[in-house]
Chains A and B, each alone.
Chain A
Amino acid sequence: MIVENKRELLVKKIAAHGFMLVFLALVMFPFLVVISISFREGNFTTGDLIPRNPTLEHWYLAFGLEYTRTDGTVVPPPYPVLLWMWNSIKVALIAATGVLAVSTISAYAFSRIRFIGRAALLDSLFIIQMFPTTLALIALYAVFDSMGDISPVVGIDSHWSLVLVYLSGVMMHIWTIKGYFDSIDSALDKAAAVDGASPWQTFRMIFLPLAVPIMSVVFVLVFIGVINDYPLASILLRSEENLTLAVGSRLYLNEFKYLWGDFAAAAILSGLPITVVFLIAQKYLVSGLSDGAVKG
């Protein structure tokens, strides 16, 4: 395209923008509709796409507040959305911290310490990591069901059980962080070793401070992953006040109690913070994703 025909270029430009706009309209459609529904009256209304009598009812309910309609009826919030959100955030923060600690330490060992069977271990862990947790659901349920007899803390319907299982998802992140550590000049740790630092001290004083950027990427990745998890949370959590957002939100669109409008408001309220976190972090996340995947 060294020799550009101006007219041809213009046509191409219009075509490209046209395609993008049509595609974007299709992609954005669900978002726009959900925003509109959250202000629309009632839960069934098949009215206009732009609400005729906008109401804040669904938003009051999503925030856990009672809403008094103009005819005086008081509507109680159907589900504790904010509590579910707090559960999700709590579990995700604890799990992300744990995964970060475990995977950073392991990544350091795999990157810097030569021990017998290191390559084999790395390979097998990589393969294990490809097996989805969904394959383990039944046994996890059985084990935690039994463990509940020892203490409800590690039983069914406990957030700690959930955190324990999420902790096991470290492998992917060990690879990501190991790739990062591999790129750190080995002269640094040799200098530390000459000064008499133990491997732990080298890790603590040299590698940890250097790893802050990749650690924040991993932290956000785990955080989002945990918030998005449905299968595990759905089998390990039972009572309504313990549910995470992913499990709880499903209750809104129950065949027998279809709360489309209430769901719309709750979905925006709970989805927005996570979306914003993701968009801020996405630049780093994406490079982390492909780096971690390709570096052997």
Chain B
Amino acid sequence: MSELTQTLPPVSRPLGMIAGKALVALFTLTLIYVAYTVYMIGQPLFGLLVMIVALVFFFVFGLRRFYFARFIFPGIATMVLFVVFPILYTIYLGFTNYGSFNLLTFQRAQEVILEAKTVDKSAAVPFAVAPEGDAYRVYLGDESGGFLSAPLALDGTPATVDAEPVSTSPAELLERRAAIALRTGLAEVELILPDGASLRNAGLREFAPITPKFELLENDILRNVETGALLTPDHEIGFYVDEAGEQIAPGWRTNIGTGNFERILQSEGIRGPMGAIFIWTVVFAVASVALTFAIGLILASILQWEHLRFKAAYRILLILPYAVPAFISILVFKGLFNQNFGEINLILEALFGIRPDWMTNGTLARTMLLIVNTWLGYPYMMLLAMGFLQSIPQEQKKAAYLEGAGMIRVFFTITLPQIIPPFLPLLLASFAFNFNNIVLVLLLTRGGPDIPGTIIPAGKTDILGSFTYRIAFMDSGTQFGLAGAITLLIFVLVSIIAYANFVAMRRAARKA
């Protein structure tokens, strides 16, 4: 841009400005279009947000007086769209019944129910397919005559054609197997007989009159065409219900207030494991930070020792666990800890004759999780500690040694107190990270072994984050609503940690 203004003659400047303005207008319109479409397909909140982003974009880039905001607009916009909004929206979903049974919007759910068809088996007629060049005709009837359709492509596009009466069957008919191979094409075909009856493919051998099962009355009430039974929409629970109160799938997503929270509080099968998981999450995070910090600091102190040789080699080998992508290391450990054919048990059996059941015993599984996490995390602490150790004046240590203090005493009275304050924000950050370290749990144990007697899958090694992930995306079917409700709990906890971290960071910055 700057080169443009320097090299181009002044005449072209208005042109460039017009082009710029046109670009801004075009992009704004595109965003508004996206906002509108998103709004229409059932994400009104996200649509609204995109709309706001579009308007802000227009003012920031269209008007000169907001020039400065142009620099920070892209960063803020992506953060708002893909971090702030999704977190808040996830929590909002905690107040809805969104999940695998209530996945659709009301309109879509109604459409799906209206698409249900009744097959009149009593009026079914056998069919055959007659090839004709590239196309096919559907023949309904037997040798003594029937109805032959107009030519059809049978390529999967919906087609409605007339069928005319004929007195003999076509000369060439496809084998049954070849006809079955065309079933996706046949499923889209509607045949109209001369008397106006409409027939559709019903099963591998027959065409039959197929009529919609329900008709739409006013107030969104549905009536069963055949029996006259009525289905009424219940927006409280997000389902159509019949007169007996039975729910008809699919449901739609709707606001159920504090329903999910009541479920968590009232159901022992959810509340019990959640309490256990919460405690384990805190224990896991604290233990991970403590272990990695302790080991990292010890290693850093040794590496700092002036008389130690091969420092560079030790250092590079020690940070290897940090350098290897974590997902690979975790999976490697998953294989090594395998109870039946893992190398760790192979060695333990050869040496001590034991085969610990790492994956099925809760305590051992938790121990394994901590071992692996310490292995993964100590190099980061070591690297940070090495930096902080260097900032401690050597004179103080020397003075202490002169006074006759031992190595251990010097470490605890001089080194540690000076290291902890600058380290504190990083330890808090590490705690926050491990509090949500779902990659480790999902890849290593998937939460297992399961806690017995729970309604939803909950494991001994599950932390709150992995527990939520499993409710939302794995085995139990997708219960987004319930997962959203638990996310609110995690959100509150993370907020506290984040605020503490913020305060600690401020203090560290002020001192520095």
Contact = CB atoms under 8 A, between A and B. Distances in A.
Interface of A: 1-2, 9, 12-13, 16-17, 19-20, 23-24, 27-28, 30-31, 33-34, 37, 44-46, 49, 101-103, 105-106, 108-110, 113, 115, 121, 123, 125-128, 130-143, 146-147, 149-150, 164-165, 167-171, 174, 197-201, 203-205, 224, 227-228, 230-231, 234-235, 245-246, 249-250, 252-253, 258, 260, 263-264, 267, 270-271, 274-275, 278-279, 282, 286-287, 289-290, 293-296
A110 B384 CA distance: 27
A134 B425 contact: no
Given A9-B307, A125-B79, A230 B324 contact: no
Contacts of A246: 325, 327
A168 B484 CA distance: 21
A127 to B, nearest CB: 5
A235 B473 contact: yes
A142 B480 contact: yes
B314 interface: yes
Contacts of B321: 27
Given A130-B497, A138-B484, A167 B78 contact: yes
B71 A109 contact: yes
Interface string B458-484: 000000010011001100000010011
Contacts of B287: none
Contact of B316 (A44, A113, A279): A279
A279 B509 CA distance: 29
Given A102-B74, A142-B98, A136 B384 contact: no
Contacts of B429: 130, 293
Contacts of A245: 325, 327
Interface stretch (B191-199, B264-272, B435-443): B435-443
A135 B90 contact: yes
Contacts of A235: 473
Contacts of A24: 314, 317-318
Nearest to A280: B323
Nearest to B505: A296
B55 interface: no
Nearest to A114: B68
A235 to B, nearest CB: 6
A198 B41 CA distance: 43
Nearest to B422: A294
10 contacts: A27-B375, A106-B71, A128-B84, A136-B89, A142-B43, A142-B89, A246-B327, A279-B323, A293-B426, A293-B505
Main secondary structure of the interface of B (DSSP, over half): helix
Contacts of B314: 20, 24
A231 B440 CA distance: 10
A201 B71 CA distance: 12
B224 to A, nearest CB: 30
Which one of B1, B87, B429, B502 has the highest number of Cβ atoms from chain A below 10 Å of its Cβ?
Answer: B87
Contacts of A1: 398, 401
A53 to B, nearest CB: 17
Interface of A is mostly: helix
Interface string B11-44: 0000000000000000000000010011001110
A139 B81 CA distance: 11
B487 interface: yes
B93 A142 contact: yes
B328 interface: yes
Given A105-B75, A131-B494, A293-B425, A139 B93 contact: yes
Given A246-B327, A264-B335, 17 more contacts: A2-B398, A27-B375, A46-B341, A115-B68, A132-B494, A135-B87, A136-B86, A137-B469, A139-B86, A142-B93, A143-B46, A146-B38, A150-B38, A168-B83, A267-B332, A274-B323, A286-B384
B286 interface: no
Nearest to B335: A260
A136 B90 contact: yes
A228 B98 CA distance: 30
Contacts of B409: none
Nearest to B501: A130
Interface string B47-74: 0000000000000000000011101101
Contacts of B414: none
B370 interface: no
Contacts of B327: 228, 230, 245-246, 249-250
A150 B503 CA distance: 43
Contacts of A136: 82-83, 86-87, 89-90
A18 B331 CA distance: 30
B176 interface: no
Interface in B301-319: 302, 305, 307-308, 314, 316-319
